[in-house]
Structure formats: C-alpha cells, structure tokens
Structure 1
C-alpha cells in the first residue's frame, strides 16, 4: 500500500464537514433524493455513513467506523471504471491492499462496492490516509474531481449551492452551521424562507445524533 498522494482532511474534520453540508442540504431542499449530501450517524450499530452524489452517476461513500474510515469513489466517466474495461472488473490495486475490517463495510448492496474508481482509508491510529499501489496507465480515477465536492470553506459551499438551488445564501449563517452551532428556526428561515421548519428540524436532529 502507499500514502494517499494529496492532502485530505483529518477524519473528524471530514465527518463534521459532511454532517454540516448534509444539514445545509436538508434546509435548502425538502426532497432528499435531490440533495447532494447525506449523513446518517446511525447507519449501522457502530458506524456512520456519508454520501456525496451529483445526480450524474458520480458518487462517494464514506463509512466512519471504530476501525477507521474508508472512502469509496466512482467517476462514471473515468477510464478506470469497470464499465470501461473489456473484462468488466475492478481496476487492479484499488481494493487488494485495503484492510478487510474496513473493506467489509462496503458489502452493503446499497453502496455499490463494485462501482469504484478510487478508494482511500485511514485505520484507527493512523496518521495518514492510505491507498493501494496502482498503475493508472495515464488515466484519471476521478478522485480530485469528486473529493473536491467536499467543501472545506463555507464560501465554497455557498458558491456551489447558490448555483445548484438557484437562491442567494447568507455566508455567515452557513459558517455557523460549518462550526457545528445549534441550528435555530431563525437560521433555517434565513437560509430558506420557504422551508417547513418543523420538518427540517426533525431531520437535522437525526443527523446530529
């Protein structure tokens, strides 16, 4: 195996960021199937699941477990996709060196384990993210594109969401959610005056468990 070649967030920062973006999507969009970001802290008895999906067939699943964190990404246009290969197999090296305790978490049918163009992981106690040793043959695995959808700064989320949801957003309120501050009715209405506050707060409560 090898160290992941680019800088990526620490696991807890990653979890907090994904939860925050999921909360914001709940506020901005009442239809969960239209949201890009989802976070379920009770996905399994001892694991949380986050997902990022752009609606065009590209997706990331991130599972947070006591053993560590595993990230599986799929860029449907990548030449490393199983669908782009004559044999239809997963690109060599993506999973072979992944710790079984983390890889087994992807066996849930809903996660589409076979639909993968990159995978990285961080075992509990590790100081760096790791990945398999792969011969890319000059191809792009889509990781830069997909991981770039996890916005570290509130302004970056605002820039995306204003275009996607076609609405103006107060960056100061988005920053409060990013900081993990409790979401109030006033914050919800400042972000989306049309949102049913009661329903939104119920969903937000589930994310924050």
Structure 2
C-alpha cells in the first residue's frame, strides 16, 4: 500500500475532519493524560486553520491542516526507506507537486522536527476545488509499505468501529465498548453514559477542555 491507495480510500474533506475530531475525542476519554494520546485535534491551531495530529510516541506521525483552501496531509514513518533523513531531503516526488496554496506547510517548522528539511514520507492534499485527493508522482522503492501509509493512515482509510476498538484495546489495555465507540465516531453529542462506558473514571464535565479543543458537538445537529 502507498499514498496512491490512501488517496483512493480517504473520504471527502468534511468527513475526514469530523472523523479526526471523533478520534481525538475517543483518545481524550480513554487517555486523560494528553502526553500519551495517539490522536489530537486543535481547532485553534491558527485563526483560520485546524490541525489533526497522530503520534505513536515512537517517531511515526501525521499532521493534517484543515484550512479555507482545503486540506494538506503529511505523514512520516521513521522506518520508511523513503525517510528524508537518508539524504536530508524528501524522497523525489513526495512534495514536489504540492500546489502553491499549501506550499508553506511543506516547510512548516512544526513538521520538520528542527532538522532543516520536512519530516515527510507521505503527502496528500485536496483543495476546495478538487473532487479527489492528490499526490505527487513517485517512483516507490520495492517495499511492502514504502511510505508508511498502510500504518500511518489506518484509522483514516478504515473508519470502522471494529478497527478502532481493536486498536484501542491493544493500546490502552482496557476493554472498549463498541457501542460507545460507534456513538463517538458518528459524532453524536456526548453523554455521561457514553463517557463512563469508555472510561468509568471520567464524567462529561471532565472533558470540557477537550470538547473546546476538538470542537466536538455538544448538541444534536
């Protein structure tokens, strides 16, 4: 699997944004300590931009900037043969064709780990005028998951309750209620019952800051 496959499987930008918000809220409930969360979402990344992030704590990560221009996706797999750390530059084609409206994200300091070049092995984008996700033209190395896409974007391309439940039970080492997961993935307003079904140590009131950060809906839409 490569970023080409990911481009075929990602949903439209508004659906992806909502799914990222739901993943961040699930993580906030299951992992109250923000330092150890896999997924986060920041509606206040800038005055006009929101940021969805993933970090596994072992060097693999993604960032998605949602802006008035569309969405820009950057993924980094630290074990990828396409790692920019090999030649201190992104693999040819990965970011070469990123349109001007998203070019500043390629050089964004938060996405470069302070090394002077982008930390990226996979990149996609979709402007408001696009009807599909775009990628660069890439000659991939012979490898089962050359750019890390299969792992990095697993919960974006497979948005099922079962996939997230399995991941969460393994990651957090607790039973995870599938009905509660489905409730959050559907972006239904949280209730104390849903929260405690996922984490008996929390109440809805404990999540006020996370609700504000993710923009998770408080009322039915």
Structure 1 and Structure 2 fold alike (TM over 0.5): yes
Match of 2:153 in 1: 147
Native 8 Å contact 1:28 1:195 kept in 2 = no
Q: TM-score normalized by structure 1?
A: 0.91
Confirm whether residue 164 of structure 1 aligns to residue 167 of structure 2. no
Equivalent position SS for 1:131: coil
Equivalent position SS for 2:50: strand
Confirm whether residue 127 of structure 1 aligns to residue 134 of structure 2. no
Match of 1:43 in 2: 45
Q: Hey, which of these two has a bigger chunk of strand by percent?
A: 1
User: Which of residues 177, 180, 183 is equivalent to 1:173?
Assistant: 180
Deviation at 1:79, TM superposition (A): 0.7
Native 8 Å contact 2:75 2:121 kept in 1 = yes
Paired residue total: 205
Cα RMSD for the two superposed structures: 1.8
Confirm whether residue 193 of structure 1 aligns to residue 195 of structure 2. no
**Per-residue CA shift, 1:104-131, capped at 9, x if unaligned?**
1344322226111110111112111111
Pick which of 137-146 and 88-97 moved more. Answer: 137-146
User: Which of residues 10, 13, 16 is equivalent to 2:15?
Assistant: 13
State how 1:24-173 maps to structure 2 within 5 Å. 24-83=26-85, 85=86, 87-112=87-112, 114-139=118-143, 140-150=146-156, 151-173=158-180
Native 8 Å contact 2:83 2:91 kept in 1 = yes
Native 8 Å contact 2:191 2:204 kept in 1 = no
Native 8 Å contact 1:48 1:64 kept in 2 = yes
Native 8 Å contact 1:4 1:129 kept in 2 = no
In 2, Cα distance between equivalents of 1:137 and 1:154: 33
Deviation at 1:96, TM superposition (A): 1.3
Equivalent position SS for 2:42: strand
Change in Cα spacing, 1:7 to 1:206, as seen in structure 2 (3 Å) is: closer
In 2, Cα distance between equivalents of 1:109 and 1:134: 24
Q: Which runs of 5+ in 2 are unaligned?
A: 217-221
Deviation at 1:137, TM superposition (A): 3.3
